[in-house]
Structure 1
Amino acid sequence: MGVRVRFAPSPSGSLHIGNVRTALFNWLFARKNNGIFILRIEDTDIERTYESAYSGILEDLAWLGLNWDEGPYKQSDRLDIYKSYAERFLKEGLAYKCFCSPEELEREREQALKEGKPPRYSGKCANLTEEEISRLESEGRSCSIRFRIPEDACFVVEDMIRGKIEFDVNAITGDFIILRSDGMPTYNFAVVIDDHLMKITHVIRGEDHLSNTPRQLLIYRALEAEPPVFAHLPMIVGSDHSKLSKREGSFSVKELREQGLLPEGVVNYLALLGWSPKEEEVKTLEELIEEFSLEDVSPSPSAYDPAKLRWINRQHILRLDGEKLLSYARPFLKEFENFPKEWLIKAILSIREYAETLKDIPEEIKKYYLNDISLDDKYREELLSGKKAIEVFLDLLKNAEDISDIDSLFKEAIKVSGLKGRRFYHPIRIALTGYESGPELVELIPILGKRKCIERLENSLRFLEAEK
């Protein structure tokens, strides 16, 4: 059988970077191995499930470019399936009905803690007779269904990332619930039934699920089914290696998108959290597919670094063609809606090296092309030394019919003024932008336009005249 993996989020909120990294590693593994990537929605926790979160998951995955081959399947549509397997386990003696009330279970828990023991179910209902079960049911007592843990419940798992892991289930937990009294399956039960029926070959998930593995292996054994191969990804931690907190920045896809991150940048950066490419870190999705390997994923925690995320994002901004970059930037360019498309593309391409995110683009455009220039006194000396360059270039610009060939105008101005290099270009740059650095002048001048360039150059000369 070919590779079949799944991403199974709960629709209880926005997808955060941990979810997305899990989805990405599953997706890359499937694509690398010509496998199937399945999307399954685990929505049996009704109180924490939101339709808006469900649609958000689909939107986020689509935005990131992580397309699925099957699904989305919803666990809430499969309740009869889980119930039938629970009943099968009852008939086979692998599970039993538990009539203990929440109050009774809480008393057991408190007593265990008081005795310094880990809380676990006592097994009070494990050996009820048929008569006792009938009597409790006739009294209207509701029941859950618990899985009966056998005495030899020990497993050895060869995790693709962590190597050999041993589990003694009896040392970890008591008999556990697989079907609640309201008919809803528990996570560890439903996930195994689904993975079994969907023929999942590899379960790639966060290491916080390691503790679920022994219970799930018991369900596989009860089904007489071969478990999938497990790969538990390292945790994502803060820059100080503590638990992630809001001080580190944004963690949901929605927030990252609103802050102007590109899908290419987010995907590229998250791929580096736990996995290291053999050469440069900036990768396209196609390059990630080609190079990705679960065997190269480290079991050590990965530190989330917002600064590196922005750096990676900037590299992708620099790689995009103008049309694509404009389409991504549009939501941040509301005040530029009436500007010609061609002008916007040229302006964006000229300033993109100064933008770490799409959110920076409108500010950079305004900075160089739209805002009024206020020349700083600290530039006075340099403007004075280059006054001849400004005057000559201004005169040539006024008489030029076409300003598409700025290089020719510069060559002529250099020849006439007798200035060259920094002594020529720097004063003109300051006069045109008010800054010492910025877009290439040969790009900037046609975008600014002849009229605005003349205004700014003349303004710089008035600035110098004012101190006479």
Structure 2
Amino acid sequence: MVDVRVRFPPSPTGYLHIGGARTALINWLFAKKHNGKLILRIEDTDTERSTQESIDGILEGLRWLDLDWDEGPYFQTEFANDHVQAAQNLLAGGNAYKCFCTKEELDEKREQALAQKTTVGYDGTCRNLTPEQVTAKEQQGIPYVIRFKVPKRKGTLVYHDKVLGTIERAYSEIEDFVIVRSNGKPLYLLCNVVDDIRDRISHVIRGQDHMTNTTRQILLYEALGSPLPVFAHMPLTLDLQKRKISKRSHGEVVAVQFYRDKGFLPWALCNFLCLLGWNPGTEQEFFSREELIEVFTLERMSKVNSVFNYRPGDQKFFTDPKLIAINEHYLRTIDTEVLGQLVEEKLKAYELWDDSYAVERRDWYLATLDLIKDRFHTLNDFASLGRAYFSDSYDIEEKPLKKNVLKHPDLVQWFKELSKRFADLSTFNQETAEQTTRELADELAIKPGILINGMRTVLTGQLAGPSMFDILTTLGQDKVVMRLSDISRLYPST
């Protein structure tokens, strides 16, 4: 194989969304697989919509995902002279021409074609203007665009796509297309090709929505005398209504930073994004970076579009259930020390961090994370659902309140009594705490579960969680005694 050089060329007109992140990931995987290079190129020629904030957001998103690049970031506007020169070379070589047709004239021709049910496309009015005619129109100050002169060939243009196989398009279906606007600025079609030639791109890996560009760009490669890269068009990422995922249509729920802020792990998101439209050929779903690089191939990309099952109206399961499941897996299997560093950031953001967790209470801190992580979906859950482990200020969730777990009229007195008995224990551990709880239940002639479920709710704010007696020993004797001594403070004021 030739030296692999791929590129990720985002447009800085908004944040990095999951569709763009998946394109970056696939290019990154392919480069790593073949010991190649990934070039980051910011295509900022849309100067009206491009912003520094968007550029910063794209770089920040890629860094958070740990998708490193080998060259760049290059900025397309820095090479504007190259694009203009390429257009002039195409003109000089007879591969392009100046088109003086006005918008009104083109609209009228389009309407006529639609009415006559003929092919809608540029009819080549200016294609065969003589040099004298061109000069005369220029002297009159008539604005013009530059169009590429599509060769008049019979048959079809054929290329091999690494994902889709053999692709054909009849030359007769390709109209003479614009490569330079009337303001003198080259269009994406030309700029992209010129940049790929300069950056020696060997493989162009992008979404299937670019396929209409590919045949025209192949003609540009030929006219510019450059060998073709290998093309690979990936399936698109759609929503449940089969609409393409986009920044404009879907808002923040498709932004990479949205998932970072919601507490997802970066590699969990990468693992999920790769599986959108790629099949490993096995039942395996969870891959380390090294494993995914090893098994990844473009040939196993799907030919059909994938669906991102996000749920914007659901506060708890607001995104694709598969992404949540993958994130849960990594929360449960990640190295505890690494998890501790990640949760630390969240606790600090929620003002729950205590500096003692860094040194003198480090063992307690890590053991607590290990205890509570199995029921959490994201890093944010440690600071929200797990708040009671790090603060005495926490809320009771609605579920146990609806189930009347705390509504027994004698529960306040029972817990006061249990609090006193816990305080009197010379040794406070799982065994003594459980024995004391069950003895009180026997004396009261009630099921132990009434006390156990009530305690879990009072002590953690949650109806479900780890073993109640693990919770007691994790919170510690003093905190348990204090919280059970007056549970009425936790009751809703209704």
| 2:402 aligned with 1:398 | no
Q: Which moved more, 1:102-111 or 1:274-283?
A: 102-111
Q: 1:257 to 1:418 in 2, by over 3 A?
A: closer
Alignment match, 1:212: 213
Q: Deviations over 1:208-246 (max 9, x none)?
A: 111111101101111232211111111212235455597
CA distance in 1, matches of 2:45, 2:251: 32
Q: Would you say the 8 A contact 2:42–2:74 is kept in 1?
A: yes
CA 1:458 to 1:5, structure 2 compared with 1: closer, same or farther past 3 Å? Answer: same
Could you say which residue in structure 1 is the equivalent of 2:331? 317
| 1:288 aligned partner | 292
1:444 alignment partner in structure 2: 471
Map 1:12-411 onto structure 2 (within 5 A).
12-152=13-153, 154-171=156-173, 173-239=174-240, 241=242, 243-244=244-245, 250-277=253-280, 278-305=282-309, 306-329=320-343, 330-331=345-346, 333-340=348-355, 341=357, 342=362, 345-366=366-387, 370-371=393-394, 395=421, 398-400=424-426, 406-407=429-430, 409=432
Distance 2:456 2:217 in 1: 68
SS in 1 for 2:158: strand
Within 1, Cα distance between the matches of 2:268 and 2:129?
A: 58
Distance 1:289 1:239 in 2: 29
The alpha-carbon deviation at position 30 of structure 1 amounts to 0.7
Separation in 2, partners of 1:372, 1:299: 49
- Cα deviation for residue 58 of structure 1 reads 0.8
Q: Paired residue for 2:482?
A: 455
Moved more, 231-240 or 5-14: 231-240
Does the CA-based 8 Å contact 1:354-1:364 persist in structure 2?
no
Shift of 1:34: 0.8
CA gap 1:380/1:449 in 2 versus in 1, 3 angstroms? same
Is contact 2:235-2:303 (8 Å) kept? Answer: yes
- One-letter amino acid matched to 2:379: L
Q: Is the alpha carbon distance of 1:139 and 1:100 closer, same or farther for their aligned partners in structure 2, counting shifts above 3 Å?
A: same
Distance of 1:104 and 1:332 partners within structure 2: 63
Contact 1:351-1:364 at 8 Å conserved across structures: no
* 1:285 to partner: Cα distance: 2.3
Tell me the SS of whatever aligns to 1:13: coil
Shift of 1:21: 1.0
Alignment check: 8 A CA contact 1:398 1:454 kept: no
Flag the 1:39–1:244 CA change in 2: closer, same or farther, 3 A: closer
Residues of 2 paired with 1:314 and 1:48: CA distance? 38
Q: Secondary structure at the match of 2:384?
A: helix
Contact between 2:430 and 2:470, CA under 8 Å: does it hold in 1?
Answer: no
TM-score by length of 1: 0.85
Quote how far apart the aligned CAs of 1:411 are.
8.0
Alpha-carbon distance between aligned partners in 2 of 1:262 and 1:328, rounded to the nearest angstrom: 9
Structure 1 residue 148: deviation in Å? 0.5
Gaps of 5+ in 1: 464-468
CA change 1:273–1:416 in 2 (3 A) is: same
Unaligned runs of 5+ in 2: 310-319
Contact 1:382 1:427 in 2 (8 A): no
SS in 2 for 1:48: coil
Q: Give the 3-state SS of the residue equivalent to 2:114 in structure 1.
A: helix
Q: CA deviation at 1:186?
A: 1.3
Question: What is the rounded CA distance, in whole Å, between the counterparts of 2:453 and 2:348 in structure 1?
Answer: 26
What SS does structure 1 have at the residue aligned with 2:215?
helix
Equivalent-residue separation in structure 2 for 1:16 and 1:361 (angstroms)? 26
Q: Go from structure 1 to structure 2 and tell me whether the alpha carbon gap of 1:297 and 1:103 turns closer, same or farther (over 3 Å shift).
A: same
Give the deviation of 1:449 after TM superposition. Answer: 2.8
Cα deviations by residue, 1:369-418 (Å, 9 ceiling, x for unpaired): 64377986855899999x999978964653436x5xx3454587599889
Shift of 1:206: 0.6
The 1-side partners of 2:477 and 2:456 are apart by 11
Q: CA deviation at 1:261?
A: 2.1
Give 1:350's aligned amino acid: L
- What corresponds to 2:314 in structure 1? none
Distance 1:372-1:115 versus aligned 2 partners, 3 A rule: closer
Residues 350, 440 of structure 1: 8 Å contact kept: no
CA distance in 1, matches of 2:341, 2:104: 58
Cα root mean square deviation, aligned = 3.5
Write the letter of the residue equivalent to 1:358. L
